């Protein structure tokens, strides 16, 4: 029997709030008719937004709150107000078993903190990781950790590899993904001791993924591997640097096309080309970063996601629930630990 | 009296060797007629390449070696062979005081190792840093460390700020550059303890630069600050991610323009636009990464640099020598340490 996913949606989060999240829920429901929703936020506002979507309104459950997380709140205040906000209640819904996954386009820091504290890490996982898809020259690549942890040791990195591979199998549909570690060189002796020890651990085991060694930052966009594992600090720096550079190049193009009449004509003739480029790089097409390694699934949408983007984030949550990523991670982690243990015993016996 | 820069050039380094480095030296000599060169490499090859540049040939000194660093050498072998290679002898020329700066397009790892071991760090500097210019929406930004050190503490980071500001004053010609620290968020409590302590130190002093706080990876391309300080690990990842993304976007554009007849026509009309974009992002225009903090100036050119690119790297070395960056760094570091010391004494007295 497959699970019928019940999703907890933070309706108030994101730049547009219900104007995006409600139509997105309706769109996602058409794609996955078996899915059910719990909608967290201001009931009056939600009811009014739902008026155009009677089918969704008929079966969605609304959980009211008018507490908001404000950008001006101090970090110490954020967590207190966030618990009772639509973000906090949506995460709480997953914790209470009322929903299988939460989806929010709200404040990343608040969502991350609430998810960590509320759901705690899965047995055996020492740190959760933020994973997302990035566009490449070929198909998408899964990258993690994108900023859940500023510092990571070798155990964290190898657990990220196990979790990232499980994620790639579901989201990219690849049976045996290749997994690489982000580093400052490809040679085995590059990077910190933690990088080298994580690499040793991944080389020593035989799981449902292929360890592909170290990759440098310029390989992220090549699409030669399916999963790239990183500490949260440099993963976040890389993600942001990629976003910033894509924006820089597009802005430079825009300026250059305005230069003179010929270039404006060229622009008009190239419009379709440029919009296909924009579509390839569109964050909405890759929307839905996931916190992996917690006792529950939490998906973070871009704050600026449009209806299609938020619906895609809901789709990611749906797939992870339907394919039971939690069980897959637990199973893979158990096999990883077994194999590591017996490798260490063999080593000890040999010495 | 201004110094007349004498440069030690590794003639054999880079993808093209003397076919690029000799014409580049001749070009740089026209730009800075007072500059003198010592040319390191295979004498027969150099003499033959010099035959088209009699003015350069007349006054350049050739130091012969036929030892090469091979890509297939093991790391342990590289250093041994590299010492006697054109890279090693060029660095040795700086060490012996025969040249003010060395410029090489050879193996980065070998150059870095030889420079560290041969020249050692300046008094008071705990780690050298690799600094370079990156293109932004406005003018260029100085970024360091780009990979000289995998791990950096707060002292390293604040020394990088002092060195990066001195570099920006010379290379960007800005009297009072703004300096930011690369981090995973802009709030004061983001990042590791080392980031927070480096920020505290920079806020506490009053030197010839403005401390501008933390910046995230997507701000590198904005051009809102003049210097971005980073640990060598995430700095290298960011640099490579930026290069990879620029390449990805250009490749996607190239493919998209080939789609149909209209887009091919659009491409032809947009050609000038696209080449102005390429020029803005061209690594040759930003060529010349510098190892700062050593007892001598060492400039690393891209291996794929063309004549213009290698001449630009020589130009960077020239400017750093002519404006005496070594003395500027020493002076600024002394002031930084004095101010830090008195701030700590005041703190101790107050407690």
Per domain, the residue ranges of chain B are 1-125+293-323, 126-288
CA–CA min distance B153, chain A (Å): 13
In terms of C-beta distances under 8 Å and separation of at least 24 residues, what long-range contacts does B331-335 make, across chains too? Answer: B332/B162, B332/B165, B332/B166, B332/B207, B332/B208, B333/B122, B333/B124, B333/B125, B333/B159, B333/B162, B334/B124, B335/B205, B335/B207
Instruction: Give yes or no for residue B338 having a pLDDT over 80.
Output: yes
Dihedrals φ, ψ of A101, to 5°? -155, 150
- The pLDDT tens digits for B130-161 are 999 998 888 899 999 999 988 899 999 999 99
Q: Which residue of B has its CA nearest to A236?
A: B184
Of the candidates B191, B236, B263, the beta carbon closest to that of A273 is on B263
- The pLDDT tens digits for A273-321 are 677 777 777 777 778 899 999 999 999 999 999 999 999 999 999 999 9
What average pLDDT is seen over chain B? 90
- Residue A270 and residue B267: Cβ atoms within 8 Å? yes
- The pLDDT tens digits for B54-66 are 999 998 999 999 9
Q: Residue B1 has what pLDDT?
A: 44
Identify all chain A residues contacting B273, using CB atoms and an 8 Å cutoff: 253, 256-257, 259, 263, 266-267
CA B65 to each of CA B16, B46, B84: distance values in angstroms, whole numbers, following the listed order: 17, 11, 7
Of the candidates B137, B191, B219, the beta carbon closest to that of A150 is on B191
Question: In the numeric block, which tokens belong to residue B333?
Answer: 């570091």
% of chain A at pLDDT higher than 70? 94
CA–CA min distance B290, chain A (Å): 18
Q: Residue A71 has what pLDDT?
A: 62
Instruction: Give yes or no for residue A75 having a pLDDT over 70.
Output: no
Query: Would you state the CATH architecture of domain B126-288?
Result: 3-Layer(aba) Sandwich (3.40)
Q: Residue B312 has what pLDDT?
A: 94
- Put simply, whether A263 touches B (Cβ < 8 Å) is yes
Q: How far apart are CA B42 and CA B67, in angstroms?
A: 8
Instruction: Give the number of C-alpha atoms closer than 13 A to the C-alpha of residue A15, restricted to the C-beta side.
Output: 7
Of the candidates A216, A243, A273, the beta carbon closest to that of B266 is on A273
Say yes or no: do domains B1-125+293-323 and B126-288 share a fold. yes
- The pLDDT tens digits for B166-198 are 999 999 999 999 999 999 988 888 889 999 999
Of the candidates A236, A249, A274, the beta carbon closest to that of B217 is on A236
CATH, range A1-125+293-351: 3.40.50.10950
% of chain B at pLDDT higher than 90? 69
Q: Residue A1 has what pLDDT?
A: 44
Q: Which residue has the tokens 């547009």?
A: A16
Interface of B with A in 11-70 (CB under 8 A): none
Q: Kindly report whether the peptide bond that precedes residue A145 is cis, defined as omega within 30 degrees of 0.
A: yes
Q: Which residue of A has its CA nearest to B135?
A: A248
Instruction: Give yes or no for residue B269 having a pLDDT over 80.
Output: no
Residues A256-264, mean pLDDT to the nearest whole number = 71
- The pLDDT tens digits for A124-166 are 999 999 999 998 888 899 999 999 988 899 999 999 999 999 9
- Put simply, whether B277 touches A (Cβ < 8 Å) is yes
Dihedrals φ, ψ of A297, to 5°? -100, 130
The angle subtended at Cα A128 by Cα A122 and Cα A130, nearest 5°, is 135
Q: Which residue of B has its CA nearest to A268?
A: B266
- Residue B259 and residue A276: Cβ atoms within 8 Å? yes
- Residue A220 and residue B242: Cβ atoms within 8 Å? no
Query: Would you state the CATH architecture of domain A131-285?
Result: 3-Layer(aba) Sandwich (3.40)
Residues B227-231, mean pLDDT to the nearest whole number = 97
Identify all chain A residues contacting B256, using CB atoms and an 8 Å cutoff: 273-274, 276-277
Instruction: Give yes or no for residue B74 having a pLDDT over 70.
Output: no
* Res. B228 pLDDT band, cuts 50 70 90: very high
Residues B211-216, mean pLDDT to the nearest whole number = 96
Of the candidates A217, A244, A249, the beta carbon closest to that of B236 is on A217
Residue B125 host element (H or E): none
Residue A215 host element (H or E): strand A210-215
Q: How far apart are CA B252 and CA B249, in angstroms?
A: 5
Residue A217: DSSP 8-state: G
Q: How far apart are CA A265 and CA B130, in angstroms?
A: 43
* Res. A269 pLDDT band, cuts 50 70 90: low
Q: How far apart are CA B139 and CA B118, in angstroms?
A: 34
Interface of B with A in 84-113 (CB under 8 A): 109
Q: Residue A349 has what pLDDT?
A: 83
Helices (H), chain A: 18-31, 43-50, 54-59, 75-84, 86-95, 108-119, 154-171, 193-204, 232-257, 261-281, 307-322, 325-350
- The pLDDT tens digits for A188-246 are 888 899 999 999 999 999 999 999 999 999 999 899 999 999 999 999 999 999 989 98
What average pLDDT is seen over chain A? 90
Q: How far apart are CA A42 and CA B161, in angstroms?
A: 48
Of the candidates A137, A269, A273, the beta carbon closest to that of B248 is on A137
- Put simply, whether A124 touches B (Cβ < 8 Å) is no
Superfamily name with CATH number, domain B1-125+293-323: Isopropylmalate Dehydrogenase (3.40.718.10)
Residue B85: DSSP 8-state: B
CA–CA min distance A219, chain B (Å): 7
Partners of residue A64 on adjacent β-strands = A41
């Amino acid at each position: 029997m497959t699970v019928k996913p019940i999703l907890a949606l933070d309706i108030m989060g994101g730049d547009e709030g219900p104007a995006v999240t409600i139509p997105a829920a309706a769109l996602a429901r058409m794609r996955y008719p078996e899915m059910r929703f719990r909608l967290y936020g201001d009931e009056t506002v939600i009811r009014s937004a739902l008026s155009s979507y009677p089918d969704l309104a008929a079966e969605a459950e609304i959980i009211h709150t008018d507490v908001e997380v404000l950008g001006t709140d101090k970090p110490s205040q954020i967590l207190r107000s966030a618990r009772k906000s639509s973000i906090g209640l949506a995460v709480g819904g997953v914790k209470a078993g009322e929903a299988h996954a939460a989806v929010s386009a709200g404040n990343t820091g608040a969502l991350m903190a609430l998810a960590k504290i509320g759901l705690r890490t899965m047995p055996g996982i020492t740190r959760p990781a933020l994973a997302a898809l990035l566009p490449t020259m070929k198909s998408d690549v899964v990258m993690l950790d994108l900023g859940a942890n500023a510092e990571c040791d070798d155990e964290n990195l190898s657990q990220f590899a196990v979790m990232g591979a499980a994620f790639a199998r579901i989201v990219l549909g690849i049976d045996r993904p290749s997994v690489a570690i982000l580093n400052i060189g490809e040679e085995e002796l590059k990077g910190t001791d933690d990088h080298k020890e994580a690499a040793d651990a991944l080389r020593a085991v035989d799981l449902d993924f292929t360890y592909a060694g170290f990759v440098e930052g310029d390989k992220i966009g090549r699409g030669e591997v399916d999963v790239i594992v990183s500490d949260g600090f440099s993963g976040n720096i890389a993600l942001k640097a990629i976003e910033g550079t894509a924006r820089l190049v597009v802005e430079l193009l825009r300026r250059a096309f305005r230069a003179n009449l010929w270039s404006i004509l060229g622009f008009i003739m190239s419009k379709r080309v440029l919009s296909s480029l924009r579509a390839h790089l569109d964050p909405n097409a890759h929307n839905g970063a996931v916190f992996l390694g917690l006792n529950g699934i939490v998906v973070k949408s871009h704050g600026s996601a449009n209806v299609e983007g938020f619906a895609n984030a809901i789709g990611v949550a749906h797939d992870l629930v339907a394919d039971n990523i939690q069980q897959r991670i637990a199973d893979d982690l158990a096999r990883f630990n077994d194999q590591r243990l017996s490798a260490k015993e063999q080593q000890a016996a040999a010495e």
